Amino acid sequence: MTQTSPDAPVAVVTGASSGIGAATARTLAAAGYRVVLAARRADRIEALAAEIGGVAHVLDVTDRAAVDSFAAGLDRVDVLINNAGGALGADPVATGNPDDWQAMYDVNVMGTLHVTQALLPKLIESGAGTLVFVSSTAGFTAYEGGGGYVAAKHGTHVIASTLRLELFDKPVRVIEIAPGMVRTDEFSVNRFGGDEAKAAAIYQGVDEPLTADDVADTIGWAVTRPAHVNVDLLVLRPRAQAAQHKVYRTS
């Protein structure tokens, strides 16, 4: 188990139970942060917290009362990684399920808003806070079947870019990391309602999609720059993905 000093800076990671969130928690713990892992699945975050010397807190970011009570229990927050999010469905706009759209808006936009609002005073109090938004290339580019997710991730992007303006005179930097094709255990499987074959088809023939560790490594780099260095927006794709639709496939 990693030993973290009790007066180490504190990093809160949402969606820390798997994928980019779990990898980021490991990266930040290795960089000396005391990591607070927030996610819905207790067993996963408790195991990871034990591994990295962090703290697990069961949290649904769409539940504002729960987010407020989570925030009230934290003494200090130096870094917030707004990572909780996800996609549901890949239907055309004409036939997309409104419940899926609502759920995507709730987690990618409202969940991000709730956690950010609740922790912002502590980030400011820290004197050198870092607010990271894990958005997506879907926050900039529409694609067929992506409507609900693209709309929601545009929302995540707008929260980040608006806050950077509004916090210009506060000691908090606002970093947006926008990954393209990342192969994680859950993102595409969740999107397709557990259909492993449909999920696997997304990455068919793609030589080395990004991994959660690739994204976590980039987040760790951005967070550990000197406090005056603000990596505003960093778009990260695998070499095989030149643009959202232009993906090199060997099969």
Binding site for ligand 8X3 (CB under 6 A): 136-138, 146, 149, 180-181
Distance from C-alpha of 94 to C-alpha of 90, rounded to nearest angstrom? 11
Measured from the CB of residue 127, what is the shortest distance to ligand 8X3 in angstroms?
33
What's the rounded Cα separation, in Å, for the pair 47 and 15?
A: 14
Beta-strand relationship, 172-179 and 233-236: parallel
Please, which residue, 58 or 140, has the CB nearer to ligand 8X3?
A: 140
Q: Residue 22 Cβ, how far from ligand 8X3 at the closest point, in Å?
A: 17
Q: Which residues are catalytic?
A: 149
Closest CA to 175 of 237, 221, 213: 221
CB closer to ligand 8X3 out of 54 and 146: 146
Return d(Cα 173, Cα 165) in angstroms, integer.
10
| Residue with the shortest CB distance to ligand 8X3 | 136
b/e map 172-205, b = 16+ CB within 10 Å: bbbbbbbbbbbbbeebbbbbbeeeeeebeebbee
Contacts of 167 (CB under 8 A, 6+ apart): 131, 174
In the complex with ligand 8X3, the residue whose CB is nearer, 96 or 180, is 180
Q: Tell the smallest beta-carbon distance from residue 82 to ligand 8X3 (Å).
A: 14
Taking the complex as a whole, the smallest distance from the CB of residue 181 to ligand 8X3 amounts, in Å, to 6
For residue 80, give the H/E element and its range: strand 79-82
**Closer to ligand 8X3 by Cβ: residue 47 or 189:** 189
